[in-house]
Structure 1
Amino acid sequence: MYQRIDGSAWRNIWLVGDLHGCFTQLIAALRERKFDPYRDLLLSVGDLIDRGPQSAKCLNLLRCRWVYAVRGNHEQMALEALTGGKTALWEMNGGGWYKQSSAQQQGGLAELIARCQYLPLVIELRCGEVVHVIAHADYPAAVYAWQQEVDAHQVLWSRRRLTDHLAGRHGAIAGADHFWFGHTSLKRRYDSDNQHYIDTGAVFGGELTLVALQQAG
């Protein structure tokens, strides 16, 4: 469920919001930032796939040594569709691209989707003395602790904490410095207490948000 990353192994570390198949936008943003795949790291809050035009290319990012991602609810829906036959929910939420792929393409895509079961639900990144926690929708606890059991469904789907923030019911999560989430499409990045929501609706015509969690110099 958890993965721990030591930031000292990389020069720059970037975190990207929900991609949803927006591969061209991602590559343009990385080039603008002079991203070096040999020295830099890209982290993702999940939802690499569905809705956008290049889901297959975004899914293929999982093959790259310079990309680490948490599992999003769209990866979870894809897993449940291919392993449990729950195709209707996935297709209603933008998963039709898989069926539209050729039989040959589907073989490779199915392999990558199967890999998603091994994606962590939570990434803990240490950059010097600063601890970042990354999850798709929420970290459903008042205090963060490494390897603490949390409800996977809430990690992938819950909007309760964000709804509370937007209603004025604020509160920090103890145990780490920053918590980073995606899942809910917003017009702009939203920050409250030590929580940051960075799905800014790239697939719906908004910007693709990239955040520098570590920069050399």
Structure 2
Amino acid sequence: MAICGLPAVVTGFFDLNDSEQKEATDLLLKFHHLPHIIEITNDNIKYVIAHADYPGSEYLFGKEIAESELLWPVDRVQKSLNGELQQINGADYFIFGHMMFDNIQTFANQIYIDTGSPKSGRLSFYKIR
């Protein structure tokens, strides 16, 4: 399956032709302007999406949070791996990446979808709608 006209299997950026490299670069630059937290409600189920974690135990829409608290923390998932599950209130599910797993993992109401595509070649998706 190709995305935006790019080939389905790409082993690296430099395997793309000039036009494809420009398109890939343009798409990546668009990510710079996206919010660090995305909230989606579907059929009365609220999902919150962030890179690595949402700090604390309660989600609040619009709360100011330092970028570093969303992009790098791994404490919660490490505790979950040790059996110490920590629910986050304020949304039904939280979807995170950053921590690589062989398969999608769920701990309490947190779903981790990073299956290490650069390393494993596997790219995972979680369908909300």
Q: Tell me the TM-score range normalised by the shorter chain.
A: 0.7 to 0.9
Q: In the alignment, what sits opposite 1:53?
A: 12
| The one of 66, 69, 73 aligned to 1:154 | 69
Query: What is aligned with 2:57?
Result: 142
CA deviations over 1:17-53 (Å, ceiling 9, x no partner): xxxxxx7359xxxxxxxxxxxxxxxxxxxxxxxxx61
Q: Distance in 1 between matches of 2:36 and 2:15?
A: 21
The answer for unaligned runs of 5 or more in structure 1 is 1-22, 27-51, 58-100
Per the TM alignment, residue 151 of structure 1 is displaced from its structure 2 partner at its CA by: 2.3
CA deviation map 1:127-154 (0-9, x unaligned): 0211000001111121011101222102
Structure 1 runs of 4+ aligned residues shifted over 3 Å read: 54-57, 111-117
Q: Give the alignment of 1:77-96 within 5 angstroms.
A: none
Look up the SS of the partner of 1:147 in the other structure: coil
% identical equivalent positions:
32
Aligned counterparts, 1:31-180, within 5 A: 53-54=12-13, 109=25, 115-180=30-95
- Residues 25, 208 of structure 1: 8 Å contact kept: no
Q: How many residues end up aligned between the 2 structures? A: 120
Q: Which structure dedicates a bigger proportion of its chain to strand?
A: 1
Work out the CA distance in 2 between the residues paired with 1:120 and 1:186. Answer: 25
**Counterpart Cα distance in 2 of 1:113 and 1:191:** 28
Closer/same/farther in 2, CA of residues 127 and 112 from structure 1, 3 Å limit:
closer
**TM-score, reference length from structure 1:** 0.48
Once the 2 structures are TM-superposed, how far is the Cα of residue 113 of structure 1 from its aligned partner? 5.5
Question: Displacement of 1:190 after TM fit?
Answer: 1.1
What's the TM-score once normalised by structure 2's chain length?
Answer: 0.77
Q: Which has the higher helix share?
A: 1
User: Partners of 1:166 and 1:184 in 2: how far apart?
Assistant: 11
Answer 1 or 2: higher relative contact order, Cα 8 Å, separation at least 6.
Answer: 1
User: What per-residue deviation string (whole Å, max 9, x for no partner) do you get for residues 90-149 of structure 1?
Assistant: xxxxxxxxxxx98xx67x94x666544421100000102110000011111210111012
Unaligned segments of structure 2, at least 5 residues: 1-6
